Each structure stands twice: as structure tokens, then as C-alpha cells.
Structure 1
Amino acid sequence: MSDRASGSRYDKGMKTRREVLGDAHVDRASANMTDFDKDFQTLITESAWSTVWSDETLTKRERSMITIALLAALGHSEELAMHIRATANTGASAEDIREVLMHVAIYGGVPAANTAIKIAKDTLSGMTE
């Protein structure tokens, strides 16, 4: 898979990944890549970032809110914080995040939303400092 890293799907995915997560995050991920995870990095760049995030059916703001809801409901705290930070690039507001987490409380469970709200508060306060 890593041999395809120069292909158009990879390039398109990397462009979108950088737009959403920011150059600093993507540069760190790339710098930390090893032979062990390079195929995984290629997979997520081509699948998540090229196939899903680059599609124009939904806006980046909408995709951001969906992603936050799913990560919160599934309890993926580290990824949740990362995608909350990414809202600086996707256009999702603190109000959007709050509303998404209210939906998580109803459809994904209050404990998951409670944890996500704590993460969101900490992450958002760190973004404004």
C-alpha cells in the first residue's frame, strides 16, 4: 500500500487532511511514521481523507459535527479532542459541538456525552488561550 503514496487518491487525501487537521498535526504524524504503521497511514489518508472527507456532498463543517458525534458516542477521547481542535479549520462552532453532544446524550448515552463534554470544554478552553 505504501508504494501508492504518490498516487492521486493519496495526494487528494493528504490535501484534505492538512486542511482539516492542520499542517502541524499532519507533519507530526508523518514524522512519527515507521515501517510498522506506514501502510495504516496510507490507508486512512486514502480512505478517510480522500474518499470520505474530500467528497463534496457534505461540507467540512457537517462532516466535522458527524465525526465528533461518532467519536463521542464510541468513547474515542483522543480522536475526539483532535477533531474538536480541527473545528478551527472546519467552521464548526462551539455551539455546534454543544448541540452535537446533546444528540449524543440522547442517542448514544448520557455517560458518553458527559465524558465528551468534559473533553470538549478542556479542548475548547485550550484553543482560546
Structure 2
Amino acid sequence: MKTRRAVLGDAHVDRAQANTTDVDADFQQFITEVAWGSVWTREGLSRPQRSLLTIAMLAALGHDDELAMHLRATANTGATREEVKETLLQVAVYAGVPAANTAFKVAKRVFAEIDADGEEAL
């Protein structure tokens, strides 16, 4: 939970926890233990590297809501906007221009929201 909160922020995790029901309680526990407790805490890749890889995979797979969440999380992971742009160019080459086009639209929206909210600039 410590890593999940460090990456996604307390507000996001608190919302996810508050919205947990009997239907998804086991899933919430699973992602906290496996994704955040086992994978994100491993040595071998830095937090910014893991962040950028996650962004690339979510963009390639078209998971726009999760992509937006992880783009917002770059404020906590140390991945820069320049690195995000480069990552999305890689997505264009290896996952297709339509996937990257959508991902760039999501990134533009998320970064504009961050800027408008006066959140820490990346």
C-alpha cells in the first residue's frame, strides 16, 4: 500500500478503497499485493522506468482511463513530460499510430488539467 500511495497519491487510493465492495475487494487486495507490493518494489528498474513502461503498455492496449491515471502519477514517479512524449513515439512505431494518437490526446488532456489545477509541473 505504501508504494501504491507513493505512485498514485493518497487521494486516488482513498477513493479506490472507499469504492471497494464485496465484488472487487479481492481484486483490490490482489493489485495492492502483486502489482504494488511485488512488481513496483522490485530492484532492476527505477520508478520512472516502471512508470514509462506502464504508460507505454496502457497506451498500446488502449486502456485510456488507466493511462490517464498513470500520466497523472508521473508527478510522483519522476518520469518527465519529455520522457512521456518519447515513450508515446515508441508506441507509435511498435503498437501503431492510432494507439499513439489516442495516447497523445489523453496526455494533452491530463497535462492541461494538471497545469490548470496548479499541480506540480513535470
For residues 2-57 of structure 1, give each alpha carbon's deviation from its aligned partner in whole angstroms, at most 9, with x where no partner exists: xxxxxxxxxxxx00000000000000000000111000000000110011101121
TM-score relative to the length of structure 1: 0.89
TM-score relative to the length of structure 2: 0.94
2:49 to 19, 42, 62: 62
CA distance in 2, matches of 1:116, 1:46: 28
Other-structure match for 1:27? 14
Other-structure match for 1:117? 104
Q: Number of residue pairs matched?
A: 116
What amino acid is the match of 2:39? V
Other-structure match for 1:83? 70
CA distance in 1, matches of 2:80, 2:96: 22
Runs of 4+ with deviation above 2 angstroms:
none
CA distance in 1, matches of 2:41, 2:98: 32
Structure showing greater radius of gyration is: 1
CA distance in 1, matches of 2:44, 2:16: 27
- Unpaired runs of 5+ in structure 1? 1-13
CA distance in 1, matches of 2:26, 2:35: 14
RMSD (Å), alpha carbons: 0.5
